[in-house]
Amino acid sequence: MTVGIKDVARVAGVSPATVSRVLGNGVVSDALRQQVEAAVRETGYRPNLSARRLRSQHSQTIGLIVADIRNPFFTAVSRAVEDAAYQAGLRVILCNTDEDPEKEAMYLRLMEEERVTGVIFAPTRQTVEHMAETPRNFPTVLIDRACQRSREDTVVLDNAAAAGVLVEHLYDQGYRRIVGLFGNASTTGVERHSGYMVAMSRLRLTPDAVFIPPSAEAAEAEIRRRMVDGGAVSSRPEAVVASNGLLLMGVVRAAGEAGLAIPGDLAVAGFDNERWTELVGPGITVIEQPVETIGRTAMTMLLERLDAPEAPIRKVVLSGRCIVRGSTARKG
Amino acid sequence: MTVGIKDVARVAGVSPATVSRVLGNGVVSDALRQQVEAAVRETGYRPNLSARRLRSQHSQTIGLIVADIRNPFFTAVSRAVEDAAYQAGLRVILCNTDEDPEKEAMYLRLMEEERVTGVIFAPTRQTVEHMAETPRNFPTVLIDRACQRSREDTVVLDNAAAAGVLVEHLYDQGYRRIVGLFGNASTTGVERHSGYMVAMSRLRLTPDAVFIPPSAEAAEAEIRRRMVDGGAVSSRPEAVVASNGLLLMGVVRAAGEAGLAIPGDLAVAGFDNERWTELVGPGITVIEQPVETIGRTAMTMLLERLDAPEAPIRKVVLSGRCIVRGSTARKG
DNA sequence: TGTGATTATGAAAACGTTTTCAAGATGGCG
DNA sequence: CGCCATCTTGAAAACGTTTTCATAATCACA
User: For residue range B205-229, what is the model confidence (pLDDT) as tens digits?
Assistant: 999 999 999 999 999 999 999 998 7
Is A91 within 8 Å of B92 when comparing Cβ atoms?
no
Go through the domains of chain B in sequence order and give each one's CATH number: 1-47 (1.10.260.40), 159-289+321-328 (3.40.50.2300)
- Residue A89 CB contacts under 8 Å (≥ 6 apart), including other chains: A60
Contacting residues for A229 by C-beta, under 8 A, at least 6 apart: none
pLDDT per position as a tens digit, B13-23? 999 999 999 99
Among chain A residues, the shortest Cα distance to B4 is held by A113
Spatial strand order of the sheet with A285-288 comes to A208-212, A178-183, A239-242, A267-271, A285-288, A321-323
Residue of B nearest to A103 (CA): B86
CB contact under 8 A, B69 and A75: yes
Which bases of chain C are under 7 A from a protein CB atom?
7-12, 14-20
Q: What is the pLDDT of residue A230?
A: 66
Q: What is the DSSP letter of A152?
A: S
Whole-angstrom Cα distance, residue A295 to residue A300?
Answer: 9
Predicted TM-score (pTM) of the model is 0.93
Q: Would the pLDDT of A185 be above 90?
A: no
Q: Which nucleotide lies nearest residue B20, CA to C1'?
A: D18
Residue A166 pLDDT exceeds 70: yes
- Report residue A1's pLDDT band, with 50, 70 and 90 as the boundaries: low
**Do A82 and B75 count as a contact with CB atoms less than 8 A apart?**
no
Average predicted confidence (pLDDT) for chain A: 94
Q: Enumerate the H helices of B114-205 as residue ranges.
A: 125-129, 159-172, 187-202
Q: Strand C within 7 Å of which CB atoms in A 25-64? A: 26, 45-48, 51-52, 54-56
Q: Which of A23, A41, A49, A82 to mutate to test the interface with B (most CBs of B within 10 A)?
A: A49
Looking at residue A234, its pLDDT comes to: 78
What is the pLDDT, as a whole number, of residue A132?
87
Digit-coded pLDDT (tens) for A62-88: 999 999 999 999 999 999 999 999 999
Do residue B279 and residue A276 have CB atoms under 8 angstroms apart?
yes
Residue B11 CA, nucleotide D17 C1', distance (Å): 18
Q: What confidence tier does A197 reach under pLDDT thresholds 50, 70, 90? A: very high
pLDDT tier, A134 (very low <50, low <70, confident <90, very high otherwise): confident
| Contact between residue A149 and residue A210 where contact means Cβ atoms under 8 Å apart | no
Q: Is the CB of B5 less than 7 A from some atom of nucleic acid strand C?
A: no
pLDDT at A102 over 80: yes
Residue ranges in chain B whose pLDDT is less than 50: none
- Note the pLDDT of residue A250: 96
Confidence grade of residue A331 (pLDDT, cut at 50, 70, 90): confident
B56 touches strand D (CB under 7 A): yes
Listed in sequence order, the residues at least 6 apart from A212 whose beta carbon sits closer than 8 Å to its beta carbon are A181, A182, A183, A184, A218, A219, A222, A247
Closest Cβ opposite residue B279 in set A2, A114, A253: A253
How many A/B residue pairs have CB atoms within 8 Å?
A: 101
Q: Does residue A231 register a pLDDT over 80?
A: no
Burial of A112-150, coded b for 16+ CB within 10 Å and e otherwise, reads bebbbbbbbbbbbbebbeebeeeebebbbbbbbbbeeeb
pLDDT score recorded for residue B291: 97
